[in-house]
Amino acid sequence: MFVSYIYKLGTIIMEKQEIQVHYENNHKLYLRLAENIKQALITFLSEQQISYHTISSRVKEFDSYFEKIERKGYDKPIEQIEDFCGLRIICFYPLDLGKIAEIINEEFDVLDSIDKTENLEADRFGYRSNHYIVKIKKAWAKAPNYRGLENLKTEIQVRTILMHSWADIEHKLAYKTKDDIPLKFRRKLYQLSALLEIADSQFQELKNEKEIFKKSLIFENKGQPKFDFSKDINLDTLQAYLDFTFPDRSKGNTITRRLLEELMSHNISLEAFDKMRIETKTIIPEIEKEIVANGNWAQVGIVRAILDLKSDDYWNSRNEDWKEHNWGKVISKWREKIKK
């Protein structure tokens, strides 16, 4: 059929150049698909308040694409190669795998799904990950950025950080099956795999216990929820207090940690701060409108504003240049009003 360098693909003969043209004709479509699905996944996880480590996407390079065609003997590669476009979600905890599975099954047309862990025997180490072959729903194609992508397949992989660590190490060692491994290394690999799996479950258990501890800080008093100030201040008690007191404000572990350092350095307990909050609750909304014209403070922002108003020690620690900015000027004005 063709004169130049050829490969037999099933019963069809195609030349490498023709395969490359075929690849290039579809490559841009899959790049668009990968980026759009990535953004959709970011939105879906954010809506369900599922934290994650990374969401990445890739489209196969031609050499990898061609190698798979040659190895598998595909005669319709675009249809048969289901991971031409691939996305990977790396989450933190095993229970998140199930939550993400629900999102994928609800938001996409799932053609196939595989839990790699189920393929492992009880005494075997190996690759653990959840894989989904999906297409976007037909309705998505009405949006301009999804137009023309409705018939393309995508593979979505979901794994925890520790699953991902093992996958990367396994890839580096190039051990895919038991028979690949020299006997003297086999026991050590089984042990390492078991340790990672145990660590995964222990991190999940720690997270669950942390949530139970935070909930235990809230108790009923005369029919009203109250916060237990008897516990020592730490990151968990502080975040629990912020969630209890300012549930509708945005938050973040890194900035909460810095607030904790500030409270401890100024020897301010949660109970002492709560008294400041009660004393300023009628004026804080007015101050917030002056400082934040369009929007609201995050949890830490409103705490710092209250500390600026009520704690002389905290206010005096503020940089003098900062006090000349809008926040500092507004707070300074209200501090004078409070003194009067």
> pLDDT category, 4, cuts 50, 70, 90?
very low
Q: Which of 64-68, 145-149, 168-172, 177-181 has the lowest mean pLDDT?
A: 177-181
**Residue 194, SS3 per DSSP:** helix
Distance in angstroms (rounded) separating the CA atoms of residues 242 and 251: 9
**Greater pLDDT, 254 or 37:** 37
Residue 209 maps to a domain: no
- Secondary structure E strands in the chain: 6-9, 12-15, 52-59, 85-91, 109-115, 130-135, 154-160, 218-221, 224-227
Residue 321 is predicted with a pLDDT of 83
Pure H helices in 48-142 = 62-72, 77-80, 94-107
φ, ψ at 54 (rounded to 5°): -150, 155
Write the CB contacts of 280 (distance below 8 Å, at least 6 apart in sequence). Answer: 306, 309, 310
With cut-offs at 50, 70 and 90, classify the pLDDT of residue 40. Answer: very high
Using the predicted structure, report yes or no on whether residue 125 has a pLDDT greater than 70: no
Structural domain that includes position 48: 6-189
53 and 181 housed in the same domain: yes
Higher pLDDT, 68 or 332: 332
Mean pLDDT computed over 76-83: 76
Torsion angles phi and psi, residue 160, rounded to 5: -80, 170
> Across all residues in the chain, what is the average pLDDT?
85
Same domain for 123 and 232: no
150 and 141 Cβ atoms separated by less than 8 Å: yes
| Rounded CA separation 61/58 (Å) | 9
Average pLDDT for residues 2-26, to the nearest whole number? Answer: 60
With respect to residue 196, please indicate whether it lies within any of the assigned structural domains. Answer: no
Residues 227 and 167 in one domain: no
How far does Cα 287 stand from its chain's mean position?
34
Can you say whether the dihedral through the CA atoms of 169, 170, 173, 178 is positive or negative? positive
Cα dist from 52 to 24, 49, 87, 92, 187, whole Å: 33, 10, 14, 6, 32
- Is the confidence at residue 253, as pLDDT, over 80? no
CA-CA distance, 193 to 199, in Å (whole number)?
10
Q: Is the pLDDT of residue 3 over 80?
A: no
What is the crossing angle of helices 183-216 and 235-245, to 10°? 50
CB 304 within 8 A of CB 288: no
pLDDT (tens digit, 9 = 90+) per residue, 171-187? Answer: 666 455 566 667 777 77
Sheet containing strand 85-91, edge to edge, reads: 52-59, 85-91, 154-160, 130-135, 109-115
Residue pLDDT, tens place only, 84-93: 899 999 999 9
Any domain includes 162: yes
20 and 162 belong to one structural domain: yes
Whether 177 and 56 map to the same domain: the answer is yes
Same domain, 171 and 242: no
In a domain, 210, yes or no: no
Rounded CA-CA distance 142/187 in Å is: 54
Per-residue pLDDT at 202 exceeds 60: yes
Please list the helix, strand and coil fractions of the chain in percent, rounded to the nearest 5, in that order. Answer: 60, 15, 25
Residues 163 and 240 both lie in one domain = no
**How many domains does one find in the chain?**
2
Last residue of a domain, one of 146, 168, 189: 189
Same domain, 167 and 237: no
CATH of the domain at 67: 3.30.460.10
